[in-house]
Structure formats: C-alpha cells, structure tokens
Amino acid sequence: MGERGYSVTSVLRALDVLELLARQGGAGRISDIAPALRCSKNTAFRLLKTLEHRRFVRRADDASYELTFKLLNLGECVLRSTDLHLIARPHLEALSRQFGETVSLGRLEGDEIVYLDRVLGTRPYHTSYSVGSRTTAHSTALGKAILGFSPGPALDRIIKTGLRPKTDNTITDPERLRADLRTTAIRGYAYDDEESVLGIRCVAAPVFDRRGDVVAALSVSALAARVTDKYAKTLAKRVIAVGAALSARFGYSGPPPRAPKVKRRGVTIAARGAG
C-alpha cells in the first residue's frame, strides 16, 4: 500500500482548506471554497466549522472565514525547535571545502559575538577563537554583518559601552563605524581587514529569519596575504549566497543582499571594505 493509502480523506480536505485560504490572502467564503475544492457547500461548511472549533479559522463579520494566529503559533514551535547549528553545519562544511578556508557561524549576544560553530579549513590559518568563544562585535565581520542589518539601538548600546580596539586596525570611532555598517548594508556583507586579529581578513554575511530579523551571520576567514581584491570578491559572492540559502531555510523570502561595485580612493570597497 502506498503512502496515499494511509491518508485520511477528511484530514486532507481540512488541510486543503487551510492551504486554499492561505493562497487567497488568508480569508474566503464558502461559495468560493466549495468549488475550488470540488466539494459541496455542506462539506465545505462542516470542514470550516471543524477548523473553527479547533481555532485554526474564525468566522468574520462578513461571513467569510479567516486564518487565525494558531497556525503562526505552530510555526513558531517549529522555529524554536530548529537547531541553527544543525541546519547551518552542512553549508559551513561545503563552503570550507570549496575554498579550503575556515568558516564560522556566530550570533550577537549582548554586546558580543558568540561563535556557534566553526569548520577549520585545510589552508594555513592562525586564531584562538573556538566554538563558544566571545569577542567584540564591532571588530569582527560576523558582528558587523549582524549590526549592519539590525535596528539602531543594538549599535547604540555597543557604542555606549565603548569601542575597544583589538588591533591597530579596529574601528573605534563611532561615526566611522556607522559609515562602515551603512556600506555593509548596501553591499550585503561585512569585511574585517585585520580588525580583530592581525594577519587575518574575513568576509561575513547575515542570516535572516522569516520576519527579516538577523539571527546570525556566517563568515570565511583567511590569512590576510591570501585575501586579494579578486579573492575577497569571490568569497563575498559565495558567503552572500550561503547566507541567503540559510535565510530561506528559516522562512525569509526577501531579496538576497546585493554587492554593488562602489569605489573610494581607487580601492574597490566590495573587496576591501569601508574600514
């Protein structure tokens, strides 16, 4: 017996009603639902009343039936039970294999970036950061990728605590950091030019949830000597693509960030960054 043989027709019909209402903008009348499902009005009525009893739909004042937030609550349960690390891991591994570089996943907690996962590359790389490590958000590509797409209060809080330098290249001036983050938002990714660790350059892109909020960022790090303008552009393109793929897994359906070519002092910002 195939999978269809185990299906319960009434349950399938009820799910058809929910999907139909969703396609129609969240609401519909029995007179529209019945022909769309190829059933009688009486059957459509009984399906809707059953869904109403379980609070999946509600009857509006105009006699139409609307989807309720109960479906959203179920979706939130799925999101809460989804392990970001488990979903992202295959993408991180594939990205690391492609370039042989170290790939990291991090999220903002308070004023710091916490490393959630890391895949070490096969090419030489020197840093002490590991899973669970914390570092200042303003000095890392991961942090800047998140802050560049986050509401202003997050950045204001970090600036208020003080932009401590990690290296001589760390951006410690608030206005310069704001300008760097504006550039990050325009091109779709952040760039760390030895701002966190001397000798290391890093490119990072944000990961969005279904509401368009940044939930994490992923990055590729390499020895600064390897990160030429051309290589940085290549890394940026792939990091943005992987970030978009992860965002889609979390329900984000907006357009992927773009990386326009912007130049300043003869240097391609898309490769070198604004910092």
Domain 3-77 class, CATH top level: mainly alpha
* Single pTM value for the model: 0.66
Asked, colleague to colleague, whether 3-77 and 82-272 share their fold, the answer is no
The reported pLDDT for the residue numbered 221 is 94
143-160 tens-digit pLDDT? 999 999 988 888 999 999
**Domain spans of the chain?**
3-77, 82-272
**Strand runs (DSSP E) across the chain, as ranges?**
27-28, 57-59, 65-67, 102-109, 112-119, 134-136, 190-193, 200-208, 214-223, 263-264, 267-268
The reported pLDDT for the residue numbered 263 is 39
> Cβ(262)–Cβ(238) under 8 Å?
no
How sure is the predictor about 69, in pLDDT bands with cuts at 50, 70 and 90?
Answer: confident
- Confirm or reject CATH 3.40.50.800 for domain 82-272, answering yes or no: no
